[in-house]
Amino acid sequence: MRSKGIVITMKTAKDLPVIIEGGTIEFKKQGELKDILNQNPPKAYIEDHPFAKGVKYLPIGRVETLLDVLFQQWRVEIKSITLLAQSICCTVRLHYLNPITNEWSFHDGVGAVPLKTDKGFSAADLAHIKSDAVATGAPAAKAFAIKDAAEELGKLFGRDLNRKNTMSYFNLFESPKQQDDELQTRIDEALAGMRQIQTMPELQSFFIHLPKEIREAETVITAKNIAKDRIIKSNQVKGALNDN
């Protein structure tokens, strides 16, 4: 169901499906964007690599969707496409507009795919390279290069998917008081949102889309119960009027 009118203050990657289905994303500080970029990607987005056995990756469609959602304005500049050891190699520059600073930045990426050949033959045997090897290989190499560049943005884009030794991300630039203030602000926003809800489906959708730390706040739970009682009483009144 499309979440019309719901503003999501994203705090975990679990909020992404809600955003993609139609919620409105909102970042207020660079630290909030960094927090999201350094979350693990949703498990549903991860697939097995088509060429490398035992390797996990994010398909290019997922990467492009994440770029659309988080940055909206981005573009790919192809720096080079070359033939290297019977493989097509592509180098790109991924430009993106930072939604907080409103400044353009970029990351470079490299991708390569082997030339397709007839079964059982090496790409060194030019007579058995398939006729569409370049037509299919060049776009594939470009896609891998875009993904390679996007990984520089953070864990959300698959940076640590195949790494054994990683470090947890934490924001050094926010004090505990700042974090508490931000949490209270988000709780206040949730309370205000629930006061505007008029139907049970809307209330249920709004509540389940809240981040876990907001849903578990006592004031939010109380507000949910108050909203539920208000909606039930309103429905009873409407039913009585209709009966008359």
pLDDT, tens digit, 9 for 90 and up, residues 17-67: 555 555 556 666 667 778 788 888 888 888 887 777 788 888 999 999 889
How far apart, in whole angstroms, are the C-alpha atoms of residue 56 and residue 87? 21
% of the chain with per-residue pLDDT over 90:
23
- Residue 126 DSSP SS3: helix
Q: Are 92 and 145 spatial neighbours (Cβ–Cβ below 8 Å)?
A: yes
pLDDT, tens digit, 9 for 90 and up, residues 66-121: 898 888 899 999 999 998 888 899 999 999 998 888 899 999 999 998 887 767 66
How far apart, in whole angstroms, are the C-alpha atoms of residue 133 and residue 153? 31
Number of H helices, E strands in the chain: 8, 7
pLDDT, tens digit, 9 for 90 and up, residues 228-238: 998 898 888 77
Burial 139-172 (b: 16+ CB within 10 A, else e): ebbbbbbbbbbbbebbbbbbbbbeeeeeeeeeee
pLDDT, tens digit, 9 for 90 and up, residues 133-191: 778 889 999 999 999 999 999 888 988 887 665 454 445 445 555 566 677 888 888 89
Scanning 40-175, the segments in alpha helix (DSSP H) are: 60-70, 133-150
Residue predicted with more confidence, 15 or 234? 234
0.85 exceeded by pTM: no
Q: Is the pLDDT at 6 greater than 50, yes or no?
A: no
Scanning the chain, the segments in alpha helix (DSSP H) are: 16-20, 30-37, 60-70, 133-150, 176-196, 200-208, 212-215, 218-243
How far apart, in whole angstroms, are the C-alpha atoms of residue 147 and residue 151? 6
* pLDDT for the residue 146: 96
| Strands 24-25, 7-8: pairing kind | parallel
HSE, side-chain direction, 13 A CA sphere, residue 196: 9
CA distances for 159 relative to 6, 155, 170, angstroms: 30, 5, 16
* pLDDT for the residue 21: 52
